[in-house]
Structure 1
Amino acid sequence: MGTRSGKLWQRMVQRGVTRFWAQAAREASNSNLRVLRRRRLLARKLRNHLDTLISIADGRLALPIIGSNTFPKPHGTDWAWRPTVWRDSLPSKGMVAVKSKEGLGQEVTLFHDCTISELTLRQLRNTRAKDLAPFGLRMDVFRFDGSFLSLVVDFPKEALQDLNRQYLIRMDTIVEMEKPLEIFARFNIKHGPNTEQIVRELPLHEEEIMVEFDLAYSKLNEKRIDKAWVDLIFEGPEMNQVILRDVTFSRRPRAEM
């Protein structure tokens, strides 16, 4: 009850302030100069606060909305997904000296075989006008004495419903790097005791970084699908910073021949 009455009082005050300044503007041409000078000083002080509010609001409201799962999808898409790291604010924003099998959120895990980890992971807020994802993921690699480095993204169960060999799995991403390196995407799908793997190199030199995994070329046992995930494999990552501004997945039935 107190909250409702407080909000009502606040609205009444706001309406009163608005009416006052609207009337002051109408009277400005004929106001007493002493009154006009005082009102000008008050209006300038008020304008500073309003300009600050508008500037901050414009900046924040221009950012991608937290929780957004919006991104372009191919025609015929029946499932699409942006993992949590790129969609929602995480309680833990980052880690240093990341050990193998550690990660951010429930879906993203880092794997490596370094003796001493000089790796960091950090979620960051996307602020560019062209970004659709609310957040990005930054990985810093300093000295690297291991033989492999991969970021694993586990698929949710919904991605596996009614999945069969007639489907294409698509991955889109936006990548920034301090210096060039190769990144491979390996799609893994576990069925029974077996795991099918399809590997694609990310076309980092192209404007649209997209790969597709065609399940028609697999030996998938459609009745025993249990789990699916994608490995992002980084070749020669030492002394580099990689920012994945966005990572999205979608699936659709392949066109009938």
Structure 2
Amino acid sequence: MTAKRSTVLSKLLFKRTLGNWARIADAARTTPISTLRKQRSNARRMLVHLNHFVHVADNRLALPAIGSQAIQKSHDTDWAWRPEAWTGPLPVHGMASVPSKSVLGNELSLHHDCKLSELSLRQLRNTREADLAPYGLRMDVFKFDGSFLSIVIDCPKASVEGLRRKHLIRMEPIIEMEKPLEIFARLNIKNGPNTEQVVRELPLHEKTPMVEFDLAYTKLNEKRVDSMWIDLIFENPQMNQVTIRDLTLSRRPRADV
């Protein structure tokens, strides 16, 4: 009851203050100079706080909401997911001189065979109006003396529950690069003692370089599916900065022919 009364009083006070300043503004052309000078000083003091509030509020309200799982998907999608690196703040936001097999969060790891690591990996906040993902991932590569570089993303258990050979797995990343390079996506599905792998090159010339993995062309043992993960493989990444603004995975059954 007390909280409700306080809210009502706050609304009345705000309404009264707003009306008072409206009357002051309307009368400004005829207000005596001495009074006008005091009113202007008070208004400027209020503006400092109001402008600061509006700036912070606009910035927060323009950002994608933390934890957002807003994903564009088709009506027949039976599973969709955005990894945690693109969804919420990680306990460790970044790493420099990253050793191979370093882990960032619970689902992502970096792999390479460099003798001297000149790699950095960090999470950043997305701020663009078009971004659906709250966070992005940025990798800087300087000198690179290795033969391979990949980011591995472990998928949750839900990704393989009910998984069948009739399924299509879709990956939709949004990627920015300082200079062109080739990126391949490899889907890995562990089933029993075997691991089925399907590799696709990302069509980076497209605005959204979507790829689909058709499980019909695998020898997937549906009764023994255990886990799934994605490798993002970067070819000749030296002296480049790669920003993955978003990355989503989804699953849908292939249309019957």
Residue 150 (structure 1) aligns with = 150
Q: State the distance in 1 between where 2:149 and 2:174 align.
A: 19
Determine if the alignment matches structure 1 residue 214 to structure 2 residue 211.
no
Residue 48 (structure 1) aligns with = 48
Q: What pairs with 1:210-249 in structure 2 (closer than 5 Å)? A: 210-249=210-249
Distance 1:101 1:9, change over 3 A: farther
The sequence identity of aligned pairs, in percent, is: 58
Residue 141 (structure 1) aligns with = 141
Residue 188 (structure 1) aligns with = 188
Deviation at 1:128, TM superposition (A): 1.4
Deviation at 1:130, TM superposition (A): 1.4
Residue 100 (structure 2) aligns with = 100
Residue 199 (structure 1) aligns with = 199
Q: State the distance in 2 between where 1:3 and 1:227 align.
A: 51
Residue 38 (structure 1) aligns with = 38
- Secondary structure of the equivalent of 2:104? coil
Greater Cα offset, 75-84 or 39-48: 39-48
Q: Which stretches in structure 1 are left out of the alignment for 5+ residues? A: none
Residue 114 (structure 2) aligns with = 114
The amino acid across from 2:241 in the alignment is Q
- How big is each residue's C-alpha offset from its partner over 1:115-162, in whole Å with a ceiling of 9 and x where there is no partner? 111111000111112111111100011111111111001000011111
Q: State the distance in 2 between where 1:218 and 1:24 align.
A: 76
Distance 1:236 1:3, change over 3 A: farther
Q: State the distance in 2 between where 1:178 and 1:136 align.
A: 16
Greater Cα offset, 129-138 or 26-35: 26-35
Deviation at 1:57, TM superposition (A): 1.5
Residue 57 (structure 1) aligns with = 57
The amino acid across from 1:213 in the alignment is F
Deviation at 1:33, TM superposition (A): 4.3
- How big is each residue's C-alpha offset from its partner over 1:59-104, in whole Å with a ceiling of 9 and x where there is no partner? 2211111111112112311111110000101121100111111121
Deviation at 1:106, TM superposition (A): 0.6
Q: Which stretches in structure 2 are left out of the alignment for 5+ residues? A: none
The amino acid across from 1:47 in the alignment is L
- Secondary structure of the equivalent of 2:102? coil
Residue 250 (structure 1) aligns with = 250
Deviation at 1:8, TM superposition (A): 8.9
The amino acid across from 1:136 in the alignment is G
RMSD: 2.4
- How big is each residue's C-alpha offset from its partner over 1:171-209, in whole Å with a ceiling of 9 and x where there is no partner? 001111111110000000000000000000000011221
Q: State the distance in 2 between where 1:75 and 1:210 align.
A: 17
TM, length-normalised to structure 1: 0.91
TM, length-normalised to structure 2: 0.91
Deviation at 1:31, TM superposition (A): 4.7
The amino acid across from 1:121 in the alignment is L
How many pairs does the alignment contain? 257
Distance 1:170 1:43, change over 3 A: same
The amino acid across from 1:176 in the alignment is E
- Secondary structure of the equivalent of 2:210? strand
Deviation at 1:243, TM superposition (A): 0.6
Q: State the distance in 2 between where 1:145 and 1:187 align.
A: 26
Residue 128 (structure 1) aligns with = 128
Q: State the distance in 2 between where 1:135 and 1:3 align.
A: 36
- How big is each residue's C-alpha offset from its partner over 1:34-59, in whole Å with a ceiling of 9 and x where there is no partner? 32332122113322331232123112
